Structure 1
């Protein structure tokens, strides 16, 4: 069990963000455990050809058989919404001795032997680091950035907006209770109970946050909340992002005929999509239209009271209002055949 002790000041400096680099590194788990990520299967298939043109032998072994990985590959975010390149620069500056130590610790914790090509490069950790950085950048640019990341970022932004509302409405206890079943909050201590027997074998750890700030990071490939193993690292917890099933959604949801007749097909499609908060860019990507066209319809729906708007960083997230929910539900009822 991991325990994080938070005083009042620590709660005030607890914050949420997502990490593009963490999502890229964690996404390498998909290849080893594709059965555990049904919502990501089609994405994995879509970039298979590009992936095989990279140094897949190295990328494959950045994740151990039990899905552990070297801690230096996923540095703790230090500011809101970092870019992939800014985080990769942190990795590139990792001391060589840390590279060797973290790879050794990951495979030792997993209980598996260190495979090639990592094993032969441990005597030259600077070269191993350089190759990791180069291949992660290529993987990001060729496989994830074109289509996967725009969708992923939308889901992560929606999670951040939701957590902010929960914290404001229900406080720390309500917030932590919803993050993940592995987490519990009592008496100023946040507990993370990881069921992995190999994690349990490492023993418990009590970590006073002590003014360092606790960072909470949603992830699309986390099966449960987890933290770094190294007790010297600043406190950070990754947890499964809310709405990650949306990654498996291909077509926009069905639009009831009655709703389309009432407000027009384009606005009906947008209203049906917005059961989770999303930005103009993300909606345009999903509908394969220009952001300008989406923006015009969103403004009209918001003016009519069918949508709410929330600023999140540089983006504005739209979501259905209670009136919008009622309109969609009513349209669906009218669309059902008699006798159902």
Structure 2
């Protein structure tokens, strides 16, 4: 039993990472529906309580069965490593151009929840699938604006740091090391080139040269998700590292000695880089203007305390061994 991704020689060269703001929006909506996913997100739930109360999320919830098919039209895999929510939503809206395919996708999902097909809402969706797609896209956009967009710099920083970490594992130990660290439910069988996901159901997918898209998610914990039927690219979504500290307050004051050496503002920027982050993410975390943070990062980089690395449209900064020693009291 379980889901099995079967790799061919070409697939081993075409595994990539991606970040999807639309996926995070979908999973944020699912967190509101599934209490077992809420343990790490209680501060966020308190912050978005009023905004969530103003949304009628029942149409999206009806298409989130506990087991079974989630409509692919609502969650197409991102085409690149740094797509915007607007770009992803445009692809969702485009599904209205094929009402027949939309009808089958929605029907298949509704059939996984007892009574959903016969419910007034379910019947309304199937009676006019093109209109249903448009309304679901509008609701997804409203959920993005209310639940995720205000917190996206913090979320994106977490996801980017996760990708950087696992990219290094991949470089150091190959696919076996990568998959071993993503989730306990994953098993890599190198002899057969198969990645298995423990599931009570059974599903096989030959990757067929498309490779596998790997997406970290803040809201999918404690589960791992994925699949997609052809023609969609096979995708695996796993919990990002560090979600336990995602909603904690900004780092406390920098150590007095370090602040005396660098100046308090630059010391606090350096201490905030426990995980690699972008200028925008640091500015949101520290409550500073991006231009101010950028100036501090430039000075710290010139002093040999930071290393920049480009990931799509983002530049992430991480501490050098010397900087780690200064901020932790160790030796480089």
Q: For the superposition of Structure 1 and Structure 2, which TM-score range results when normalised by the shorter chain?
A: 0.7 to 0.9
Deviation string 1:216-242 (CA, Å, 9 cap, x unpaired) is: 111111223222364664311111112
Aligned to 1:335: none
Deviation (angstroms), 1:268: 1.9
Contact 1:38 1:248 in 2 (8 A): no
Contact 1:39 1:245 in 2 (8 A): yes
Instruction: State the SS of the aligned residue for 2:181.
Output: helix
For structure 2, the residue ranges without an aligned partner over 5 or more in a row are none
Contact 2:82 2:313 in 1 (8 A): no
Deviation (angstroms), 1:321: 1.7
For structure 1, the residue ranges without an aligned partner over 5 or more in a row are 332-340
Contact 1:7 1:188 in 2 (8 A): no
Distance 1:216 1:322, change over 3 A: same
Deviation string 1:6-40 (CA, Å, 9 cap, x unpaired) is: 23321111111111111111111111124423332
Instruction: State the SS of the aligned residue for 1:255.
Output: coil
Distance 1:329 1:34, change over 3 A: same
Q: Please provide the CA RMSD for this pair.
A: 2.4
TM-score when normalising by structure 1? 0.86
Alignment of 1:185-204 (within 5 A): 185=188, 186-195=190-199, 197=200, 200=201, 203-204=202-203
Equivalent-residue separation in structure 2 for 1:194 and 1:232 (angstroms): 24
Aligned to 1:219: 217
TM-score when normalising by structure 2? 0.88
Contact 1:255 1:269 in 2 (8 A): yes
Equivalent-residue separation in structure 1 for 2:275 and 2:69 (angstroms): 31
Aligned to 1:158: 161
Contact 1:155 1:246 in 2 (8 A): no
Deviation (angstroms), 1:279: 0.5
Does 2:118 align with 1:108? no
Equivalent-residue separation in structure 1 for 2:60 and 2:260 (angstroms): 50
Distance 1:143 1:193, change over 3 A: closer
Task: Name segments (4+ residues, structure 1) moved above 4 Å.
Answer: 65-68
Deviation (angstroms), 1:61: 3.0
Instruction: State the SS of the aligned residue for 1:122.
Output: helix
Equivalent-residue separation in structure 1 for 2:156 and 2:296 (angstroms): 22
Equivalent-residue separation in structure 2 for 1:168 and 1:325 (angstroms): 22
Equivalent-residue separation in structure 2 for 1:282 and 1:39 (angstroms): 20
> Between Structure 1 and Structure 2, how many residues are aligned?
324
Equivalent-residue separation in structure 1 for 2:154 and 2:170 (angstroms): 25
Aligned to 1:124: 128
Equivalent-residue separation in structure 2 for 1:318 and 1:308 (angstroms): 6
Alignment of 1:1-340 (within 5 A): 1-65=2-66, 69-94=70-95, 95-111=98-114, 113-114=116-117, 115-145=119-149, 147-185=150-188, 186-195=190-199, 197=200, 200=201, 203-205=202-204, 207-222=205-220, 223-228=222-227, 230=229, 233-330=232-329
